[in-house]
Amino acid sequence: MTTTVDLVPGLITTRDAIAAAYGCGTFQGIEPADEAGMVFVYSDPSAGEEYGYTFDGRAEDDEFGPLYLYTGAGANGNQKPSGRNGSLLSHAEKGREVHLFVAHGKVPNGGAMQQRYIGQMVLDPIKPYDIRRGPGRDGVMRNVLVFRFRPAEGTTPAWTETDKVPAAAKTTIEIIDPAVAVPAPVVLPQQSGAKVKKTEQHSTSETVADIPAGQRKVLRREGELVTAFAAHLAAAGHKTHSFQITIKGEPGALTPDLYDATDHALYEAKGLTTRANIRMAIGQLADYRRHIPGPQILRVAVLLPSEPSEDLKDLLGEEYVELVYQTDDGFAGWPLAYN
């Protein structure tokens, strides 16, 4: 007789029950079930706390809606987008659904951990993961892949207030290297009711269920702009990276776009040359610059895909924010002028 488990958000179950029903393993945080066409993800924030970090949990909603963060596989050394992590990144092209569970205390009168089913998820189509810094099981700092899940269309996630990413215990700043990690666009699985279309520019499938296509393209352009400028700086012999800034009493982390260590200059990129985007960049730079130490005054600049209006140039100048923008020949405004 085949065991069945009805995956309804809020279900309390165990790994053994899921394994018996779908044919996956029971010990890893990411468990593919090949024959069932699924990948089961088990989130346990307390596991990270043991090593001194907590990335797992419900993050603050952004302009695109709910977001759940999940630390990838790999106990020591830099985590790689392969192996079990690769099974998440490739789930769409292999036609696999992703189902998220959160640890929910021990089974009464037993030693096994219960699992609360959150619901079916999809990787964020713009940025499937962030790279964070955190200690491994051996205590050595390394790069950690933090996957960014969105609820699949039609899913009402069964998360609670207790599932939120906890606030940081102290303010810290860690170097993130490499500075630019722009994962390849992820092809999302077809969900019931979702419309999928092909884009000529990028040759990738895009779902219109969650994030407006126009905004996805803007943010992708932003990532490509940072990548191109980082390559431009590297060709000039400059060393670049970024930072992971955690703030005491707040969840998550601040991650500036690009830091030029050679010039002690911080850049914030925007995918559109509009007043709203430039005002946002000014505010972000004002926030970041307070936390970045150095032997001299930190220089800050906005990185844009094209030249802004004269009034916006004046605004940047009055706020002591420099301007670099992309041209057919490279980047205008760089090297930064020394005052």
Length of the chain: 339
High-pLDDT (> 70) share of the chain, %: 85
CATH class of 167-339: alpha beta
The pLDDT of residue 157 is 96
Q: What is the mean pLDDT of residues 199-215?
A: 40
Identify the band that residue 196 occupies on the pLDDT scale cut at 50, 70 and 90.
very low
Q: Does domain 12-163 have CATH number 3.10.20.740?
A: no
The pLDDT of residue 126 is 79
The pTM of the full predicted model, rounded to 2 decimals, is: 0.77
- Give me the residue spans of the domains in the chain: 12-163, 167-339
pLDDT: which is higher, 195 or 230: 230
The pLDDT of residue 313 is 97
Output the 3-class SS for the chain: CCCCCCCCCCCEEEHHHHHHHHCCCCCCCEEEECCCCEEEEEECHHHHHCCCCCCCEECCCECCECCEEEECCCCCCCCCCCHHHHHHHCCCCCCCEEEEEEEEEECCCCCCEEEEEEEEEEECCCCCEEEEEEECCCCCEEEEEEEEEEECCCCCCCCCHHHECCCECCCEEEEECCCCCCCCCCCCCCCCCCCEEECCCCCCEEECCCCCHHHHHHHHHHHHHHHHHHHHHHHCCCCEEEEEEECECCCCCECCCEEECCCCEEEEECCCCCHHHHHHHHHHHHHHHCCCCCCCCCEEEEEECCCCCHHHHHHHHHCCCEEEEEECCEEECCCCCCC
CATH topology agreement for domains 12-163 and 167-339: no
CA distance 119 to 316: 45
**What mean pLDDT is reported for the chain?**
85
Residue 303 has pLDDT above 60, yes or no: yes
pLDDT: which is higher, 315 or 177: 315
